Amino acid sequence: MADPPRASPSSGLKGLRRSGAVTDLLFLEACATLEPTQLRPIADVLGLTVQAVSHVFRSLRARGWVAYRDGRYRLTLEGVAGLHETLTGLGDDVRARLGRLHVIRSTRAIASGSLAAGDVVALEIRDGLLTARRASGGASRGRVVRGGRSGSLVEVGGLEGIVPITPATIRVTTIPESALFAPDLPSRLARDLRAARGPVAVVGLEAYLAVRHGTSIAASRFAPAAVCREASRVGVPSTLVVLERDLPRVLGELAGPSPPPVEVLPLRGHRRPPSRRRRGRGRPGIQPLA
């Protein structure tokens, strides 16, 4: 059995990376459809010189895939079977890859103003939400299929381009264990979180109580790292509150493929805890749950 050409059916698209694989397949396809009497027509189709095409022919003939018979360049039986098998393998590979992609032809978005069917809009991410605004330019564009008032859901079709999304920074605020029972912990944490944008998540009981007693923030305590990763993915900044001892584990959860940008900021202005003989004056920084 002759050796297959350099693009084997089992390798799919990856096989086309091999030197000369695409040229081999195009030469075989030209021979199968044209059956030319000279190499010039194939050279014109492939955009190569006759000398280069002659080299391809000799290489494929040595493998038993093509022959010059009855005054024409033809595929052998092995060549016909191999060409069909290779192209079928490539087609299967391409279909499988397309199946893993979400090719979006229409979408729904929030209207930034009153929009009517037929309006040309630009699509962009605002606060993590896909938004449509009336505009003829932009990285991603479309035409309104179903309109609506400002703030309502509209349907957009005829999409072009890609909506740019810049991953947002996850701010990690760390609390030293020595600060857990300091009377000023809630107030200092409240000052640190005053300018927090986007969701706030906490890791552990201690961080949860500190945020609860110091702020009115409804912090997420379930899958906190995942919450912040998802917010970053859609361009929304977030804050993660953890104990210093938990920081390595949390950073490990935030790592992986395409890690988000992370900024670690220790709790600011923490005073040393009172000495043992003074402990008990004033109320502790974390109170028991009611």
Residue 197: C-alpha distances to residues 68, 201, 217, 224, 266 (Å): 73, 12, 11, 15, 17
Picking from 1, 83, 72, the residue whose alpha carbon sits closest to that of residue 38 is: 72
Determine which helix (DSSP H) or strand (DSSP E) holds 79, and give its type and residue range. Answer: helix 77-100
Average pLDDT, 10 consecutive residues per value, the chain (290 residues): 45 76 90 91 91 92 92 92 87 80 80 94 92 90 94 93 90 91 88 88 92 88 92 93 92 86 83 46 41
What is the model's pLDDT at position 137? 83
What is the model's pLDDT at position 101? 66
| Tens digit of each residue's pLDDT (9 = 90 or more) over 85-97 | 888 888 888 888 8
User: Residue 30 and residue 14: Cα distance in Å, rounded?
Assistant: 22
Inter-residue contact 24 to 60 (CB < 8 Å): yes
Q: Which domains does the chain have, with CATH numbers?
A: 12-100 (1.10.10.10), 106-161 (no CATH), 170-266 (3.40.1010)
What is the dihedral angle through the alpha carbons of 186, 187, 193, 195, rounded to the nearest 10 degrees? 170
**What's the DSSP call for residue 15?**
G
Residue 235: C-alpha distances to residues 11, 71, 159 (Å): 37, 65, 21
HSE-up of 106 (CA within 13 Å, CB side)?
Answer: 8
Q: Which residues pair with 42 in a beta bridge?
A: none
What is the model's pLDDT at position 102? 62
| DSSP string computed for 167-185 | PPPEEEEEE-GGGTT-TTH
User: Residue 264 and residue 174: Cα distance in Å, rounded?
Assistant: 7
What is the model's pLDDT at position 168? 93
Name the residue with tokens 């192209």.
Answer: 87
What is the model's pLDDT at position 285? 43
Q: State if pTM tops 0.85.
A: no
Neighbours of 192 (CB within 10 A): 21
Task: Classify residue 95 as exposed, middle or buried by CB count within 10 Å of its CB (0-12, 13-18, 19+).
Answer: exposed
Picking from 128, 288, 277, the residue whose alpha carbon sits closest to that of residue 209 is: 288
What is the model's pLDDT at position 224? 94
What is the model's pLDDT at position 278? 42
